[in-house]
């Protein structure tokens, strides 16, 4: 019982977002129902954080994905 009704992991969402970034005109498949109608909105607050809102009009899937920028560079000084 997770409460949000979704079993899609953040890493799966990230793969969806990365694929979308490569080709933004291509339809994106919803990770839940596989309908090629997923809408992705880039709400990033660069240079601090990448922030994406994902929603699917077909099944009601809604999720936000945040990726802290710089997190992969520990102790860079
Ligand atoms: Zn869907």
Domain ranges for the chain, please list them. 10-68
- Look up tokens 């929603």; give the residue: 55
Helix or strand run (H / E) with residue 63: strand 62-68
Q: How confident is the model at residue 76 (pLDDT cuts 50, 70, 90)?
A: low
Please give the CATH architecture assigned to the domain spanning 10-68: Single Sheet (2.20)
Contacts of 46 (CB under 8 A, 6+ apart): 69
Q: Which residue has the higher pLDDT, 17 or 8?
A: 17
Q: So what's the pLDDT on residue 7?
A: 77
Give the Å distance between the CA of 7 and the centre of ligand 1.
12
Q: How far apart are alpha carbons 9 and 16 in whole angstroms?
A: 11
**Residue 35 C-alpha to ligand 1 middle, in angstroms?**
6
Residue 45 has pLDDT above 80, yes or no: yes
Residue 72 and residue 74: Cα distance in Å, rounded?
A: 6
């Amino acid at each position: 019982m997770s409460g949000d009704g979704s079993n899609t992991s953040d890493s799966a969402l990230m793969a969806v977002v990365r694929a979308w970034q490569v080709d933004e005109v291509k339809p994106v498949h919803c990770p839940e129902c596989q309908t090629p109608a997923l809408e992705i909105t880039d709400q990033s607050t660069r240079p601090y954080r990448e922030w994406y809102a994902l929603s699917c009009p077909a099944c009601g899937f809604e999720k936000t994905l945040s990726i802290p920028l710089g997190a992969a560079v520990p102790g860079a000084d």
